[in-house]
Chain A
Amino acid sequence: MSESKGIGEGGKTIKQMMEGNERLYRETGCYAGITEPHLLKENPVKGELFHSRIMASLIAGRETTRMVSGSPFVREVAELCLGLYTPEGDNIAQSTGIQIHIKLMGDNIQWMINKNYEEEVGINDGDFFISNDPVISGMHAADVYDMLPIFWEGELIGWVSTVIMEMDIGAVSPGLMPTPNVERGTDGLKFCCERIGSNDKLNRDFEHKIEFCLDMSDIFLLDRKGAIASNIRVREDIKRIINEFGIEYYKRAIRELIEEERRNQIVRIRQRMVPGRYRGVVPAEFPMADQPVAWLPAKRDTIRLIPIQMDVLPAGGLVLDFEGVGEWGWHPFNGTPQAVWGGVSIVTVQTLAYDGRGNLGSLLPIDVKEPPIDSLLNPSQIKKLATSTPWAPLLDVFGMWTHLLGIAFYLRGFREETFNYRSSAGWQMAGYDQMGNKRPLLAAGTGYFGPGACGVCDGVDCGGWLATPEVDLGSAEVWELFVPHMEMSHRIEPYSVGYGRFRSGLAIPQVVMIHRSQQLVGSGALGTASDGIIPNLGQFGGYPGGRRNTLLLRYDNLPELMEKRQPLLYEVGHPADLKDRFPGQVFDMGLIPVPTEIYEGDLLVSVSTAAGGLGDPIERDPALITADMDNGLTTEWQASSIYCVKTSYDEEAKQWKVDEAATKELRQAKRKERLARGVPVKEWWQRSRQRLMDRNVDDKILEMYQSSMRLSEAFTQEFKDFWALPDDFNL
């Protein structure tokens, strides 16, 4: 037997270590075969100190990147995150930030291990590796992973990785995460776990390449330097931690942290949820027919179903199943099984494992059934496809999973943990900035979103988005330096609401005026695949928020308005009469604006809409309604029509007040109205069934069902069982 010369423990290769770890998990059900964790418990203070040292390092590393980077994505919005990994690529600890990538960065490390990098490429102390290919693992090509191995006395003892969302990766216009792109090459630069530096130094040839290939090479390179700085900082911190605690303690403790978290996650599931089956569905819309793509088969509008079933097992595990998901398509929105795990990761740290101990162990009790081959979530031809925006439908999917978790918490009595998420879409541009540089132009603050209502209070206004627990608009003034636009307002939108006994958080629309660009093309930036079908996020009688909007408003005569000092539009106002109020043209651009030339003075409007309210709106406390009215968060129309509360404005007190007697009457009348116009479900079922039998539904809807049925006999059978359709009937 030849002597092993691996870089891992005891001369093993890291592939041998990874395979050994997997075997031990299969055999024992415990991470790394740790059936009796003891080290952290024997001296819990030491264990806590050990963990907090690691966490402090990761969080400080993240802040280091923010100080080095020049990108407002990093500095203003903090679209980054750091993770510490075992030699085998298993996550030990994670900083705050876009934790959706924690599992995915580990996947990239494991991809390198499986591709035998140790022998064929080489993994050395001081090497920098970079990756951004969602085919390996990732959420979209704009997210770049910088990975650094950590060695101790010649042995690989771990990895640190940083993810940053870039402002430019050289994609086709509009250049960051384009929507009118179909084929892989249109995504821009792709790095497949490539070495870009050694001996702690970035390769000069890599810098040349970036300078030649990217419009925003300075931003991209500064981000690399920020990530390298943070990775090196964490690496050196880890060495100090090893010096303090000893290498044998380190090796055992990092694995016990994962096993301890696996056990804690099961305890949390059993403590907070109820076993059983929970179901939802996400319809994903892909309007590509009018998009100017060269691959002509892509020019069609499609809708795909993504049913979601969560089984909470009596043993304490969770199973996610997407049986019934429709087929992949020629568009940049196809997901991958790895990206699905990204969604699992980010929801997990926001719903169950939010105590700062989240790591791979949080995910081990969760089983995701592999989505059917050639489905939207698992295309076999993924290498041929653009992957600029797989996250658009996935954010919807995992907003829905948050919703399902919330139902389980609610049943158990932990109503304070109940809520859900919704994502949105808007504008991005390509063109010349106010300094005359042509480049991609996307302003990407995250503090626009209204999460769903909580089970014990209203949702947090502008306070929740699935992709990051830290929603932050950043400084408008900084964005105005980077994008040739002026913010017209930051006002909370009353009509973004999901109504309910507790209402959703509200959203802030973006209303910006184009200023000082010589040439611009606007297009869509997608974080959702929901448009004409609003998401099913109402909770226990609450409504989901309405349709989100992407609008282009073009004044008829802006100079004259400015000359006369007339007020300019700064908020959308009532959604039914914008066209009557605006002195110019209003273009509703749909979910994905077709690339359109944008001119000086144009207003670009992106209106997010909130997730779900909770409970019957006519049971909302009238005092909450008048408080909202005093703050401009609810209108008189909403108070009377939706909440059935009669209000009037007290000019002296300068506040709204409730007419309690009239309110009581309004609410009683609403109940009577419901009983009068509601019909027995059986009656509705018969009508709806006949409509399906007659195929009297929109062609896109028909094709959507056909697509799911082509992939799933189980879905087909359930559909036919529900509608009592003949076995030989085909839609």
Chain B
Amino acid sequence: MSYSKEDLRDLYDGRLPWHKTFEIMSKPKDDDRFDKYVEILQERVSYPERILMPLGDHLNVVQKGEERMVKCDCGHEFGDWRQNWKLNALIFARDDTEKLEEVYPGLKCPDPNLCEVREFYCPGCGSLLMVEAVPVGYPLIFDALPDIDSFYREWLGRPLPDEKEFRDMTYDVTREWGRDLE
């Protein structure tokens, strides 16, 4: 089972005719999807670094020298993929009624005493990369921390050179920020 890159491009862009989209949804999955997916994404970015793992509509983990960085399509870099990339984004926190009602008017408005709607923008291009709706004071959510080395080594059968330790490094950054305050 395999689909052409042309069909997959159209699928991702929402341009594939519905009967073909439905076919892709309902039939057994294609084994070469990941490689074609990455090729399509690679064609669409301006930077030369190899994409290792897609992370969002505009974000990918790329190999940059010996580092694995989160990078926006526009080229902006968000640091090591093991740190929550949100730490290096711009944030607009909708934390009062006025800001919330810009999106959620009247009856739709969450309670600003309880809820914060956080928007994360790319500092390079102003794309809205993620919206987070959480209780006030909740730590930033690290939505996805892919185990890239296990994936390439054990699932794809082609290990990456220079494997990295798989661990959440977000708190290395926040603890450093805390020390800056002392």
Could you tell me which A residues sit within 8 Å of B by CB distance?
Answer: 268, 270-272, 274-281, 283, 285, 303, 305, 312, 314, 407-408, 410-417, 455-457, 495, 499, 501-502, 531-538, 540-547, 549, 551, 572, 574-578, 588, 607, 609, 614-619, 621, 624, 641-642, 670-672, 674-675, 677-682, 684-686, 688, 691-692, 697-698, 700-701, 704-705, 718-719, 721-725
Contact = CB atoms under 8 A, between A and B. Distances in A.
Given A407-B143, A540-B129, A722-B174, 15 more contacts: A303-B135, A305-B138, A314-B150, A411-B144, A414-B33, A416-B11, A456-B12, A456-B14, A532-B111, A532-B114, A547-B109, A671-B127, A678-B121, A691-B136, A698-B113
Nearest to A624: B14
A722 B170 contact: yes
Contacts of B168: 277
Counting from the closest, the 5 A-B pairs by CB-CB distance are A724-B178, A532-B111, A678-B90, A546-B108, A413-B37
B147 A534 contact: no
Contacts of B181: 686, 724
B75 interface: no
A719 to B, nearest CB: 6
Contacts of B33: 412-414
A45 B150 CA distance: 37
A685 B86 CA distance: 11
B150 A681 contact: no
A680 B29 CA distance: 41
Interface string B31-42: 101101110000
B133 to A, nearest CB: 5
A627 B41 CA distance: 28
A411 B150 contact: no
A708 to B, nearest CB: 10
Contacts of A609: 108
Given A547-B109, A672-B126, A678-B92, A535 B34 contact: no
Contacts of A279: 141-144
Nearest to A544: B133
A534 B115 contact: yes
A572 B11 contact: no
A675 B123 contact: yes
Contacts of B144: 276-279, 407-408, 411
21 contacts: A276-B145, A417-B25, A456-B14, A536-B133, A572-B107, A576-B106, A578-B106, A615-B57, A641-B102, A674-B90, A674-B128, A681-B90, A681-B140, A682-B87, A682-B177, A685-B87, A701-B113, A719-B139, A723-B139, A724-B177, A725-B178
B21 interface: yes
B21 A722 contact: no
Contacts of B108: 495, 545-547, 549, 575, 609
A641 B138 CA distance: 28
A405 to B, nearest CB: 11
A415 B12 contact: yes
Contacts of A621: 14
Of the candidates B55, B56, B129, B133, the one having the most CB atoms from chain A within 10 angstroms of its own CB is B133
A412 B14 contact: no
Contact of A681 (B54, B91, B111): B91
A532 B16 contact: no
Interface in B113-132: 113-115, 117, 119-121, 123, 125-132
Nearest to B124: A675
B56 A540 contact: yes
Given A674-B128, A691-B137, A685 B177 contact: yes
A586 to B, nearest CB: 9
A702 to B, nearest CB: 8
Interface centre among B86, B101, B126 (most CB of A within 10 A): B126
A413 B34 contact: yes
B45 interface: no
B177 to A, nearest CB: 6
Query: Which of the listed residues A271, A616, A642 has the most CB atoms from chain B within 10 Å of its own CB?
Result: A616
Contact of A546 (B90, B110, B139): B110
A531 B31 CA distance: 42
B127 A541 contact: yes
Given A314-B154, A616-B57, A456 B101 contact: no
B145 A576 contact: no
A540 B18 CA distance: 23
B146 A688 contact: no
B2 to A, nearest CB: 13
A674 B92 contact: yes
B126 A671 contact: yes
Nearest to B172: A721
Nearest to B182: A724
A536 B134 contact: yes
Given A314-B154, A682-B177, A416 B107 contact: no
